[in-house]
A and B are shown apart, each in its own frame.
Chain A
Amino acid sequence: MIGSKILLVDDEVVFTQNMSRLLSGRGYRVTAVNSGDNAIKALEKEPFDVVVLDLKMPGMDGITTLKEIKKLDLFTETLILTGHGSIDTALEAIKLGAYDYLPKPCEIDELVAKIEGAWSRKDGAAKKDMADKLQKVVESPSAAFDLFPRGSR
């Protein structure tokens, strides 16, 4: 989806720079960070539609970062992008709730296709959530107060 917000997390600075440029050229709004810690900080600051996450990183690795993302309970899908020879960790990440994984190196079109898939799932999940909430409002109007946090009203 053109205009989707992508968070690119990889310790390879040149790779994140290049990939940001390529994805931006395809209409995405890309933010690149080089560690798991910075990814969590970025997600806490603003919502992203898709997180493209590397697994092998110094400090907080990809799996730990994914767990932390899930703890935030956001409408964000995570796509694993790994250069590691073993796919065991990538499969573990899917079990933890990642949308899919893509091995490095990959063509930009493949990545875009995966991002689109991830966005669709995220969008579907968000819409379903909204529908559920509206259903609750129809059934019980007082539930409308729960749609928005107290501070935002």
Chain B
Amino acid sequence: MKKSPAHRSRAPESALASYPKPYYARLFRKFVSLTVICSLVPLLLVGWGIHIRHNRFAKSRVMVHFKSQVDHHMQTIELFLQERCSRLKLIAHTNRRDSLLGGRLAHIFAELNEASQGFTDLGVIDANGDHLAYIGPYDLIDKNYAGAFWFEKVMRSGLYISDMFMGFRNEPHFIMAVTGAQDGEKWILRATIDTAFFRSLVENVKTGRSGEVFLLNRSGVYQTTPRFSGRIMQKALDMPSDFHDGTRVFIRPKGNGAARAEKQIVAQSWLADPQWLLVVRQDYREALKDVNYANLVTLFFLHISALIILVVTVLITRYMITTIKRRDRDADRLNKQLLQAGKLASIGELSAGVAHEINNPLAIILTEKQILTDLAEQTDVDSQEFRAQLSDSMQQIDRQIRRCKRITHNLLRFARRTTSVVESVNLNMFIDEVIELLGREAKTSGISITRSFDENLPVIVSDPSQLQQVFLNLINNAVDAHEGKPYGRIHIQTMHDNENRQGITVKISDTGSGITAEHLDKIFDPFFTTKTVGKGTGLGLSICYSIVRQLGGDISVTSQPGVGTEFSIRLPLEPPSELIKSTSANPHSHFLEKEDLT
């Protein structure tokens, strides 16, 4: 016989039950973790990536800016010196030495300072080193410079810019000297640059509160007074690097022998003439203040955003979990109501059948009474005939009363199991009881119920109140499936699972009308029925599915239209722990023997 493939229905909504607390805690963690992984992690990774990239870029821009600023400043200082040198050269080449003696030097000095500020004094010195003329604040007219370190150099090269030195005036200054010629004899035009003016020029760079700018000669002596490190003409702590072209920018680590212990950005650039090293340095933190501030703001908003997302996620998830919990509770409540409604429907359906079973013996009892009444009217109650009939009738009445009692007790046993209790169940005996309850009714419909029970079937722990609902529904359905057929057979088989011995299987097969393939897909859906209106609620199989799943088992169906249907129920030896917790477990109660209700 070719059978339709076994059908495993999707879980109907009514099968849902409320879950224990750890389930919701797990669900909560899962939701939050997923949201964090899907939103926070990418956000933070991208944010931190952009931050690192931007930080590097911004720092390199700061360094470049620092370098270009120093480049530009070095050029400014060089231009300053060159321009002053050029003016001195112009004066030396356009004037005769003798013409500068007397009042003209003062006039030229005034013009010079008017055109190019920064000169302290101006003097004319002959080839012997004698001061021929002098305009300035010092009394130097009678000084002889033949022995001065710069005299030979300027006479030899025609132009000389000195390092800072004390000289006759006994204070730090530097000079510019150019040579002129008159009648084949060299003479020197010497000027002193205003130290304070020059220092203000050198320091005219934006270096903030922590920065300093100064010049060093090749020996490492300060040519201007630095802001923090020392004083003019003092030896610097760190020697200048070798001469190099262009500007070098580097980071000096914290506390590396500098006057300021902070980490610093240092830019160094050599002037061409004189070979002074322009040093500009600033605290790293201050130089990158704007960048650091921008970074701080960015990171602050990034982490605030992340925190807000996290908080919102947690709140939304909590709300969702609360809603799910409430829905689960509602579903559980409805499920219980549905189960109860199904049970009542079963009892109602059962009652109609049971009424038939009881009414028949009652009708016999009534006829026996009527026979006795008739006979009493026709004969003497003391007659032999009446006595014999009375005895027969009493025996018959007794038989019929016992028949009624058995039926009502069976019904009562069914109706009494209303509370869910997890206990030991001998399924063979249990199914026998259900058969006893329904067998006679089935028999009057021409249907015989046969059984083949596994004698070694283990006792299972389950909920009898739920199980009886399942078997009652399935057997009732099997009986109803024979509508229109004069005879039929329902076969119930129990067996211990051969595969893993982890559970038992109950098969209920019938020779009814069968189920079409299209109906087979919906058979466990709530409110689906193929019975005529008013004859079926469509809840029976849905309830069976819910109950079996709740008990930790599984239910499947195979059917062939016109041939019959077989339901296969697999039940575990022990129900899920959630069921034991949720029901009033009664380990001492055993549903092993038929209850004695006599």
- B-binding residues in A (CB < 8 A): 11-12, 14-15, 18-19, 21-22, 25, 56-61, 64, 82-86, 88, 103-108
Any chain A CB within 8 A of the CB of B360?
Answer: yes
**Which chain B positions have C-beta within 8 A of A88?**
534
Q: How many residues of B contact A (CB 8 A)?
A: 28
**Which chain B positions have C-beta within 8 A of A82?**
356
Any chain A CB within 8 A of the CB of B364?
Answer: yes
Interchain CB contact under 8 A, A59 and B355: no
In Å, the complex CA distance between A58 and B448 comes to: 10
Interchain CB contact under 8 A, B370 and A12: no
Knowing A11-B444, A15-B360, A105-B359 touch, does A84 contact B367 (C-beta < 8 A)? no
Interchain CB contact under 8 A, B443 and A58: yes
**Which chain A positions have C-beta within 8 A of B446?**
57-59, 61
Subset of 12 A-B contacts with CB under 8 Å: A12-B360, A18-B368, A25-B374, A57-B446, A58-B443, A58-B486, A61-B445, A85-B352, A85-B355, A104-B363, A105-B359, A105-B365
B257 smallest CB distance to A (angstroms): 109
**Which chain B positions have C-beta within 8 A of A61?**
445-446, 486
Q: Which of A57, A85, A105 contacts B363 (CB 8 A)?
A: A105
Interchain CB contact under 8 A, A58 and B444: yes
Knowing A56-B444, A84-B352, A86-B352 touch, does A108 contact B370 (C-beta < 8 A)? yes
Interchain CB contact under 8 A, B396 and A104: no
**Which chain B positions have C-beta within 8 A of A22?**
367, 370-371, 374
A106 smallest CB distance to B (angstroms): 7
Knowing A18-B367, A22-B367, A108-B367 touch, does A83 contact B356 (C-beta < 8 A)? yes
- Chain B residues numbered 353-377 whose CB sits less than 8 Å from any CB in chain A: 353-360, 362-368, 370-371, 374
Counting from the closest, the 9 A-B pairs by CB-CB distance are: A83-B359, A85-B355, A85-B352, A18-B367, A105-B363, A58-B446, A104-B363, A84-B356, A105-B362
**Which chain A positions have C-beta within 8 A of B486?**
58-61, 64
In Å, the complex CA distance between A108 and B359 comes to: 15
B383 smallest CB distance to A (angstroms): 16
Interchain CB contact under 8 A, B359 and A56: no
**Which chain B positions have C-beta within 8 A of A107?**
366, 370
In addition to A25-B374, A56-B445, A104-B360, 14 A-B residue pairs with Cβ atoms within 8 Å of each other are A14-B396, A22-B371, A58-B487, A59-B487, A61-B445, A82-B356, A83-B360, A84-B355, A85-B353, A85-B354, A85-B355, A88-B534, A105-B366, A106-B366
Give the nearest-CB partner of B444 in chain A: A56
In Å, the complex CA distance between A104 and B444 comes to: 16
A75 smallest CB distance to B (angstroms): 28
**Which chain A positions have C-beta within 8 A of B445?**
56, 58, 61
In Å, the complex CA distance between A21 and B357 comes to: 23
In Å, the complex CA distance between A84 and B534 comes to: 17
